[in-house]
Amino acid sequence: MAEFLGRKALFPGRDYLQQLRLIVDTLGAPSASDLSMIGNPQAVEYIKALPKRERVPFERLYPNASREAIDLLDKMLVFDPRKRITAAQALQHEYLAALHNVNDEPDSEAFSFPFEKKDVTENELRGLIWEQLRRFHPEAGPTPKEFLVSS
């Protein structure tokens, strides 16, 4: 939405480190609570070492945007994804009121990836992919023996 309002990339980082710096420069220094959702201790230390910044008001970045657009953007662009507005909530926001149609908006369930494992071999990964393929294309046949996932 920010890129729509500004007609350019909001965080055009050359790499993930520069992108993190741009995010912190715009959204301000994340709180300890915000950082708690990051599982990589090195990433947390890197972010903590960045210069402390205050959040840049979106009104300053997008002076021609409506109050409603800025409010929605404020709720979408939050460092901690657990604190962001949901898609369903965004659809009910006053900025999107003219487009909101409760009878024509699908609802979704939370994504679940129980099949993901950290220690999976290449052949096991191939087997998992084959099994997914077979869910949609049963004619693909049984999973090749060398791809079978061990329990």
Same domain, 21 and 66: yes
How far is Cα 108 from Cα 95, in angstroms, rounded to an integer?
A: 21
Structural domains counted in the chain: 2
Q: In this predicted model, what pLDDT tens digit does every residue of 24-53 receive, in sequence order? A: 999 999 999 999 999 889 999 999 999 999
Residue 144 neighbours by CB distance under 10 Å: 11
Sign of CA dihedral 15, 44, 23, 88: positive
Same domain, 14 and 81: yes
Q: What is the pLDDT, as a whole number, of residue 122?
A: 82
Q: In this predicted model, what pLDDT tens digit does every residue of 112-122 receive, in sequence order? A: 666 666 777 88
Alpha-carbon distances, residue 22 vs 42, 62, 137 (angstroms): 18, 17, 43
| pLDDT class of 142 with cuts at 50, 70, 90 | confident
Same domain, 84 and 133: no
Q: Which structure tokens are listed for 140?
A: 């693909």
pTM of the model: 0.68
